[in-house]
Chain A
Amino acid sequence: MKFADKTTTIAAAIAQIPDGASVMIGGFGVPGTPFCLIDELVRQGPKNLTIIKNDANEQGMGVDHLLENGQVATLISTHIGLNPRAVGLMNDGTLQVEFCPQGILAERIRAGGAGLHGFLTDIGLDTEMAEGKQRVEVNGQTCIVETALKADFALLHADSADPFGNLCYAATARNFNPLMAMAAGQVIAEAEGIVAMGGIDPNHVHTPGAFVDHVVKLSTLTKEYAVVRR
């Protein structure tokens, strides 16, 4: 038995993303952010995107290039405080920002990927984060209905991949990547290294290749992947 080879070029993989698409992007700060896929998305320039990402990176990095290029209509995120441009665009109404508690964003994506429609939680119940959300009583506890979240595309960063798309992440670069891998119609993973089939121990696969549609090998890492001097 043989597995499909899903390796492709970065240009071909990103060319599928049209105006108005919803795009999940992995990463928490620098680790796990697919900077090269984002750069290609900036180069090809589809507009009116809905971006779903934990944070807005920092100014001059990652998602910020999409914001600077005017490609993002809506950002679904948990924290944008390290990116003054994102805060500014939100404040002047150019960018619609939907905030989610971080674990709730993760779980909404997980639920979407797991074929569920939503889940019940008491997180944020007494806060403005719960405003406008449906409430139900379960076993005497008031809960908020949180809807599942899916996207047209997911852009991931992996440490290593095989041609079928089995993925391994490094350290805290895992974060939202394996969740988003399950929750999008087309899943595009960039990998720092591509190993032969069988090169990843089946016990050590973080995302099974069956979730992944396209694998892009990174020939070089841009400076945005490097340690940030603080």
Chain B
Amino acid sequence: MFDKLDQIFVTALHWLVSFLPEAWRPLASSLICIAFILSVFPAVFSITTIFERKGIGRIQNRYGPNRVGIPFTKIRLAGFGQFIPDGVKMLTKEDIVPRAADKVVHFLAPVVMLIPVLLAYAVLPFGKNMTVTDYDAGLLFFFAVGGAVELSVFMAGWSSRNKYSLLGAMRAIAQMVSYEITLILSAVTVVMVVGSLNLNEIVAHQNQYTYGIAHWFVFTPWGLVGFILFFIASLAESNRTPFDLPEAESEIIAGYFTEYSGFKFALFFLGEYLGMFAIIGLGITLFLGGWSSPISFLAWIPSYVWFFTKLMAIVFIFIWIRATLPRLRMDQLMNFAWKFMLPLALMNILVVGIWHYMAADWQRWLVCSAIIFGAYVVLGRGLMHNQKLGKRIYRYAE
């Protein structure tokens, strides 16, 4: 019964495809999968925008949007209808292209942004047997297409012929390139343990239980550190606060999409959020057991429910962090990436090696945790070494 519920989408797909002649089936099946991704993730995006606005409102002791409900009635749905007028507003706005802009590149940038982001979903396992392409080099593919986002960001910044756009694009490139290294190195640990780049195999490796608790990698010392590194790097990759320097509103208006309006702006916005979901999805797959349940007796809950629950939980943490931390300065951002994140990620790879070759008992836990903790403290001290924190002293004023 629960198995059937778990596989309902897979069976539905097979049933739909079975009406077609044999030769057409692979094509039809991919088209249906594409339609699924194109409908589900933008829907999650629209729900996330309203959750974000309401959540940040609550954190700042406001209500957030609480008016829009069903039109022509008094039903307000606590403001959860807000995303519809937001979307309509976005799509009906005038599309302005600066006179000096490189029109072709300016037009292509949002498209180039969205395509790699959507391609990245092709290898993510959303549930049991629910991967669009069961690709052996899935992880590599994900990072390869993810790298193309930087191109579109620079296209947007360069073609706008606006100093703020260009500054934003330069910042974005510097930030994304720096943090992508940590992102990939923290993911490498998982590949070392599993011995495969296939995301389905990575999930299958974590979908085992000892004493009813899953073998998620986040429950190991190296996995926890890897997950935290991956999490911070994914914050930076998706340009979220405190790493929102590329679009810092108070400094450079909107960064690389300063000169975008209307539908193109909406595409950038959508691309940014879809990129965030993709990278969170990858983080879940690598460290949080993908679609598997944390405790064995909860395994009857459908796998896709687990996946999207974890996704929304991480999105909520992203929102929480956005409402908590102020934006970093450029030098702080770079110091953090190169002097703290990267050495710690390298140490983590070493620790995974030790973990692999030591006998599976409590000593392994102790040694690995000690190395990681020591590295964390030392690197943290090094990062804070020249920082003079405290009350600001004015030399001339006062």
**Co-assembled chains A and B:** no
